[in-house]
A and B are shown apart, each in its own frame.
Chain A
């Protein structure tokens, strides 16, 4: 069964600290993996997209990693800011010739405190 699981479910950190969010998936065949940021009361916004051959991709203070062998991804946030407080959602796409369906994780709720 195609599934995406994220951990931790929620996380509280102090402003300026780093943190890492995890995403494990069982989706097959794999096409790509996206990390979205969803601010409270808003729609998700794409942060990064990674394909099978990519190991690392950065977007400012956000760095995503992908290990296609172990089917794991992480999102590392450096020097956190109050505005990083949001839900971070990992989304994996099934390969297009198998429907291209998007499988969503349940998200990690990050709270950055001053």
Chain B
């Protein structure tokens, strides 16, 4: 029944490690997003894909690399993790770039 799902829900790792977060949506949407929510609760868009093509790429370190194997999946790989990467990462999807976005439950990343 889950519309937008993310794995893992929690991720604790050490500085310098490489990790991936996965996102899947079963809504048949064409557009998917990755957001970062910092400790002050601000949501900032990182990337957006439409039909597997990158359409938004905000000012994000190139240690972050999104990959969309198909329309239903958008994964986020992070190289050389830093303390400042600690945050909650949300995946979202929408039918088109103009429609309401549906968010996943978030992945809580803690870099030690």
Contact = CB atoms under 8 A, between A and B. Distances in A.
B28 to A, nearest CB: 18
Interface of B: 4, 40-45, 56, 90, 92, 97-98, 100-106
A109 B4 CA distance: 24
Interface residues on A, range: 10 to 19
Nearest to B42: A106
A87 B41 contact: yes
A89 B45 CA distance: 14
Contacts of A42: 105-106
B104 A43 contact: yes
Interface of A: 34, 41-46, 49, 87, 89, 96, 100-102, 104, 106-107, 109
A89 B106 CA distance: 16
Contacts, number: 39
Contacts of B100: 34, 46, 49
Contacts of B105: 41-43
Nearest to A49: B100
B98 A107 contact: no
Q: Which of B43, B97, B100 is the most central at the interface, judged by chain A CB atoms within 10 Å of its CB?
A: B43
B98 A100 contact: yes
Nearest to B106: A43
A104 B46 CA distance: 13
A43 B92 contact: yes
